[in-house]
């Protein structure tokens, strides 16, 4: 019984203190919830890079709207190929495939492919000096 009374007094004291400071208990909890939701979303997303080749006649304004529509972050532009390298945050493989299918159906898109980094094999050094003599 004493435990319930002491918890109730603590809760009431906290509410009075928060109200006296001009804050309601709900105002304090909302930023904490928002921060928790944001942290959870950041932990569950992964970044994927893609090369999107657009049709030659696509206007830059249309391309900017395309990037905004799919929440794409522009990494770089390859103007000779009408290609944008973009980064996209996704939460699951299903969302990734759905987004790629939707983007591929856009009239301005010619082709989409994953941006794969090419890695060269290490060069074998034989340690031979040149044969040229003076």
Q: How confident is the model at residue 115 (pLDDT cuts 50, 70, 90)?
A: confident
CA-closest candidate to residue 62, choices 124, 106, 123, 14: 106
For residues 47 and 134, the model is more confident at 47
24: in domain: yes
119: in domain: no
User: Is residue 87 located within the same domain as residue 62?
Assistant: yes
Q: Read off the pLDDT of each residue in 102-121 and give the average, rounded to a whole number.
A: 83
- In this model, does residue 86 exceed pLDDT 80? yes
57: in domain: yes
27: in domain: yes
Instruction: Domain of residue 12: give its range.
Output: 2-42
Q: Read off the pLDDT of each residue in 66-90 and give the average, rounded to a whole number.
A: 90
User: Is residue 49 located within the same domain as residue 107?
Assistant: yes
CA-closest candidate to residue 109, choices 87, 73, 84: 84
CATH number at 91 reads 3.30.70.80
134: in domain: no
User: Is residue 75 located within the same domain as residue 38?
Assistant: no
pLDDT of residue 108: 93
- In this model, does residue 119 exceed pLDDT 80? no
Q: How far apart are the C-alpha atoms of 108 and 97, rounded to whole Å?
A: 19
pLDDT of residue 92: 81
75: in domain: yes
Lowest mean pLDDT among 21-25, 62-66, 73-77, 129-133: 21-25
User: Is residue 49 located within the same domain as residue 108?
Assistant: yes
Are the C-beta atoms of 67 and 86 separated by less than 8 Å?
yes
Lowest mean pLDDT among 9-13, 56-60, 65-69, 128-132: 9-13
21: in domain: yes
Which pTM does this prediction carry? 0.55
Q: Read off the pLDDT of each residue in 46-64 and give the average, rounded to a whole number.
A: 90
């Amino acid at each position: 019984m004493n435990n319930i009374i002491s918890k109730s007094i603590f809760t009431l004291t906290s509410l009075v203190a928060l109200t006296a400071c001009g804050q309601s208990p709900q105002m304090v909890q909302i930023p904490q919830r928002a921060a928790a939701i944001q942290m959870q979303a950041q932990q569950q997303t992964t970044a994927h890079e893609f090369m999107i080749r657009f049709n030659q006649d696509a206007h830059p304004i249309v391309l900017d709207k395309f990037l905004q529509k799919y929440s794409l972050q522009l990494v770089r532009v390859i103007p000779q190929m009408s290609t944008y390298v973009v980064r996209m945050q996704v939460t699951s493989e299903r969302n990734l495939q759905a987004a790629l299918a939707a983007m591929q159906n856009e009239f301005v898109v010619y082709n989409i492919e994953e941006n794969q980094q090419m890695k060269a094999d290490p060069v074998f050094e034989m340690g031979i000096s040149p044969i040229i003599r003076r």
